[in-house]
């Protein structure tokens, strides 16, 4: 039985039995045991290895390799390199003498307790890893004494710290964000690409409060910014860099987003859609349903000015994970097969369904305002028996988890009829199912269950159509322009003489300032203005205030109207 804590090499620790390792572990103070266990659990969680013995063994192997190569050991929530003199003293087991020599040093020097802890830290942390590496989480002693070996040249698929500079100081990063009274907030974001060959990318998440339409964020590309208060549909900004832009370009169908909360909970999101949005678009902040929004922020153009658009990635929160971590459908005890457009999925032994295509129709009679028809064209094949579809549930889940039920009005734009109630055996029937969804619907899943113990799910995304605003029939008048120090106030009157409504956003009205007549830019959108819809035969009086740095000329654009302004400052 080991009665005294002394230094052991990794080879010596590997030669010990699990009982001896446990006895060595028992010599460590309880508070230190908790700290080391927390450090190990955090690495497993950040690597996405929770629930997998194989992945967890890879994490343990990487941590041992890190200790052997660089003497990196956990100190609180960080990883630190043990000083050489402390390493030598630990090997000689004379840390108490080293501590005595430092007692007369200045107060800024480490205390004897700190030196003792750092010297033995690697020893006890390695003692934590070895049972996990050899045991693999098994409760059987025979399995725990397996002859698995650690290869110093192996490269594990899972990297415990994909972004070490950010993760090693993540506690300071997180606490350095803006304060709020929220009970739960994200602290870590992990993105896993579907190719399986790329290591997951991890960002430390910092809380930020948007004040006066200005998003202050840390420019460090490893630090993401969470907009405080967005709890239902978190909005997270990723600072622009070439690497981060490449990651946004790689995000696509099958990508998984793991969001770690300060409570320790891990929320799993799945890729829904990717698009470009205007910088002034505030609809992304709507908390209409569970989901995740990622924005690439801080990108500039060739002139060093902020770009007019940002890359937006939305992800859906699968509602079934609230009831099951094994991919089971809500309220039922079976797994769901998943596919995409063009794939054939079997609904038990009774039917096979193929999703041909998905069509979004915006121009239909009797279509409610702000809605579009979503039509799915399917091939339904029956098995050896006649197929009864009367109990089938065919539903659509959007990116936020909202459920949509079939609507017969949408079938007016379908290529085929509805799914028959009965399909003869060994026959293939083309059929359609339609839904009414919002015009900004970006994608989701078509889930089909047989009312029993079988279900399938098709994932799909929609490409947002380019909407060109027509300003014919729109009359805009510049009523007045007044100035005070540092400020320009413009008064406008806009009249809609068209027969259709026209929506104005902050990007449709902008001001450019310069030192020559009719300056072309840079354009300053009316960021403080809320988007509004101007109905036919309706007018609006609009007062806008702009920042002014004494430039003598300005150009004001309202839709297709452009006003040249000469500014004279009263002295």
More confident call, 35 vs 401: 35
316 strand-pairing partners: 270, 291
Indicate if 311 and 182 belong to the same structural domain.
yes
404 strand-pairing partners: 396
Across 150-164, 233-247, 358-372, 526-540, which has the greatest mean pLDDT? 233-247
> Cα–Cα distance between 133 and 61 in angstroms, integer?
7
**Nearest alpha-carbon partner for 230 in 293, 316, 310:** 293
Residue 192 has pLDDT above 70, yes or no: yes
- Res. 381 pLDDT band, cuts 50 70 90: very high
**Nearest alpha-carbon partner for 462 in 377, 357, 378:** 357
Whole-number Cα distances in Å, 163 to 126, 216, 255: 22, 22, 19
Residue 469 lies in a domain: no
The pLDDT value given to residue 309: 86
Strands (E), 264-363: 266-278, 291-297, 309-316, 337-340, 344-347, 351-361
Indicate if 273 and 399 belong to the same structural domain.
no
Indicate if 183 and 311 belong to the same structural domain.
yes
The pLDDT value given to residue 378: 93
Indicate if 130 and 194 belong to the same structural domain.
no
**Nearest alpha-carbon partner for 394 in 343, 437, 432:** 432
CATH code of the domain containing 199:
2.40.260.10
**Nearest alpha-carbon partner for 234 in 212, 262, 196, 255:** 262
> Cα–Cα distance between 489 and 364 in angstroms, integer?
43
Indicate if 409 and 527 belong to the same structural domain.
no
- Res. 529 pLDDT band, cuts 50 70 90: confident
CATH code of the domain containing 523:
2.60.40.10
> Cα–Cα distance between 411 and 382 in angstroms, integer?
23
| Domain limits for position 506 | 474-566
Residue 292 lies in a domain: yes
How many contiguous H segments (helices) and E segments (strands) does the chain have? 11, 30
Indicate if 41 and 124 belong to the same structural domain.
yes
Residue 457 lies in a domain: yes
12-67 confidence digits (pLDDT tens)? 877 888 788 777 777 777 777 777 787 777 777 766 667 677 777 777 877 777 77
Per-residue tokens: 148: 């698995």
The pLDDT value given to residue 306: 82
More confident call, 184 vs 259: 259
**How many domains does the chain fold into?**
4
Range in 10-24, 278-292, 424-438, 458-472 the model is least confident about: 458-472
Per-residue tokens: 375: 């039509």
- Burial of 98-126, coded b for 16+ CB within 10 Å and e otherwise, reads bbeeeeeeeeeeeebeebbbbbbbbbbbb
**Nearest alpha-carbon partner for 294 in 382, 371, 233:** 233
**First and final C-alpha spacing in the chain:** 91
- Res. 560 pLDDT band, cuts 50 70 90: confident
Across 164-173, 280-289, 316-325, 390-399, which has the greatest mean pLDDT? 390-399
The interaxial angle of helices 84-91 and 112-135, nearest 10 deg, is 70
140-152 confidence digits (pLDDT tens)? 333 334 444 444 4
Determine how β-strand 186-192 pairs with β-strand 256-261: antiparallel
For range 237-252, the mean pLDDT: 90
Residue 396 lies in a domain: yes
The pLDDT value given to residue 354: 93
More confident call, 468 vs 437: 437
Indicate if 290 and 398 belong to the same structural domain.
no
**Other C-beta atoms lying within 10 Å of the C-beta of residue 465:** 10
The pLDDT value given to residue 10: 77
Range in 193-202, 205-214, 247-256, 359-368 the model is least confident about: 205-214
351 strand-pairing partners: 347, 382
Helix (H, G, I), strand (E, B), or coil: what is residue 449?
strand
More confident call, 455 vs 99: 455
């Amino acid at each position: 039985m080991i009665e005294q804590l002394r230094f052991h090499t990794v080879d010596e620790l590997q030669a010990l039995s699990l009982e001896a390792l446990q006895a060595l572990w028992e010599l460590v103070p309880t508070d230190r045991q908790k700290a080391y266990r927390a450090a190990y659990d955090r690495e497993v969680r950040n690597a996405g290895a929770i629930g997998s013995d194989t992945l967890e063994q890879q994490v343990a192997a990487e941590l041992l390799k890190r200790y052997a190569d660089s003497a990196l050991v956990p100190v609180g929530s960080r990883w630190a390199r043990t000083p050489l003199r402390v390493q030598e003293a630990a090997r000689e087991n004379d840390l108490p003498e080293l501590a005595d020599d430092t007692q007369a040093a200045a107060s800024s020097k480490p205390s004897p307790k700190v030196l003792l802890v750092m010297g033995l830290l690697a020893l006890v942390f390695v003692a934590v890893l070895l049972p996990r590496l050899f045991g693999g989480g098994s409760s059987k002693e025979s399995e725990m004494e397996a002859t698995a070996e650690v290869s110093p040249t192996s490269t594990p698929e899972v990297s415990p710290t994909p972004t070490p500079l950010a993760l090693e100081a993540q506690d300071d990063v997180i606490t350095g964000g803006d304060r709020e009274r929220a009970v739960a907030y994200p602290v870590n974001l992990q993105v896993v690409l579907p190719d399986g060959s790329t290591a997951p990318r991890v960002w430390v998440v910092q809380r930020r409060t948007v004040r006066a339409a200005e998003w202050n964020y840390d420019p460090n590309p490893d630090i993401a910014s969470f907009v405080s208060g967005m709890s239902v549909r978190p909005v997270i900004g990723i600072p622009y860099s070439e690497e981060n832009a490449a990651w946004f370009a790689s995000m696509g169908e099958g990508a998984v987003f793991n969001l770690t909360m300060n409570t320790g909970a891990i929320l799993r999101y799945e890729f829904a859609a990717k698009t470009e949005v205007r910088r002034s678009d505030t609809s992304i902040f709507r908390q209409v349903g569970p989901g995740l929004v990622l924005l690439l922020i801080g990108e500039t153009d060739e002139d060093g000015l902020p770009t007019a658009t940002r890359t937006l990635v939305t992800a859906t929160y699968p509602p079934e994970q609230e009831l099951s971590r094994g991919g089971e459908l809500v309220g039922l005890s079976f797994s769901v097969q998943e596919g995409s457009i063009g794939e054939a999925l079997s609904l038990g032994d009774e039917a096979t369904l193929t999703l041909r295509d998905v069509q979004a129709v915006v121009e239909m009679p009797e279509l409610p305002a702000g809605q579009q028809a979503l039509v799915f064209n399917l091939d339904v094949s029956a098995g050896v028996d006649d197929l009864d579809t009367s109990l089938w549930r065919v539903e659509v889940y959007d990116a936020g988890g909202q459920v949509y039920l079939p609507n017969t009005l949408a079938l007016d734009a379908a290529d085929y009829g509805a799914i028959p109630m009965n399909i003869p055996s060994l026959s293939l029937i083309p059929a359609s199912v339609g839904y009414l969804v919002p015009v900004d619907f970006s994608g989701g899943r078509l889930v089909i269950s047989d009312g029993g113990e079988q279900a399938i799910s098709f994932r799909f995304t929609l490409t947002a159509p380019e909407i060109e605003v027509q300003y014919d029939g729109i009359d805009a008048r510049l009523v007045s322009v007044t100035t005070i120090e540092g400020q320009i106030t413009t008064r406008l009157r806009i009249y809609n003489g068209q027969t259709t409504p026209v929506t104005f956003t902050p990007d449709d009205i902008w001001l450019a300032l310069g030192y020559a007549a009719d300056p072309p830019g840079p354009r300053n959108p009316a960021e403080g203005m809320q988007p509004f819809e101007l109905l036919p035969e309706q007018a609006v009086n609009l007062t806008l205030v702009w920042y002014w740095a004494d430039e003598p000329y300005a150009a004001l654009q309202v839709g297709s109207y452009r006003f040249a302004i000469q500014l004279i400052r009263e002295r």
